[in-house]
Amino acid sequence: MTEKSPTIERHGDVTCIRLGMEFENLDEQSLDLIRSTMLEAAGSADPPRVLVDLQYTKFFGSSFIEVLFRIWNRINGIPGGKFGISGLSEYCLEVLEVTHLDKLWHLYPTFDEAIKEISDN
């Protein structure tokens, strides 16, 4: 059995956590498979610049928001720490706006724009 897993990439000085097409719906079962991978990637990011790319994700709920919050919390306050989310669907963007997390986190329409803004280069 092949487990789904996010792709962890480095783009310059930014650690990118990319959720592919298999993560269109981030339900509890999916989260159980990816939570630790995402948190480990964020915790080991050096420098502490992390981008979560959700271009294929159409739905997530409060449990995924908690994962995003934990990632942000690991980076927030560390000198040079930056956190962003790219590629949000209309629904996912609305969820973050309703919860006012769009005021806390940097949201970018595209992956490339996010890398440009988050990178120190």
Residue whose C-alpha is closest to residue 115's, from 8, 15, 5? 15
Backbone angles phi, psi at 59, to 5 degrees: -145, 135
The number of distinct structural domains making up the chain is 1
Examine residue 72 and state whether it is found in any structural domain, yes or no. Answer: yes
CA pseudo-torsion sign 61, 100, 86, 5: negative
53-82 per-position pLDDT tens digit: 999 999 999 999 999 999 999 999 899 999
Average pLDDT over residues 7-22: 96
CATH of the domain at 77: 3.30.750.24
More confident residue, 113 or 121: 113
Other beta carbons less than 10 A from residue 9's beta carbon: 13
In DSSP terms, 83 is beta-bridged to 50
Examine residue 25 and state whether it is found in any structural domain, yes or no. Answer: yes
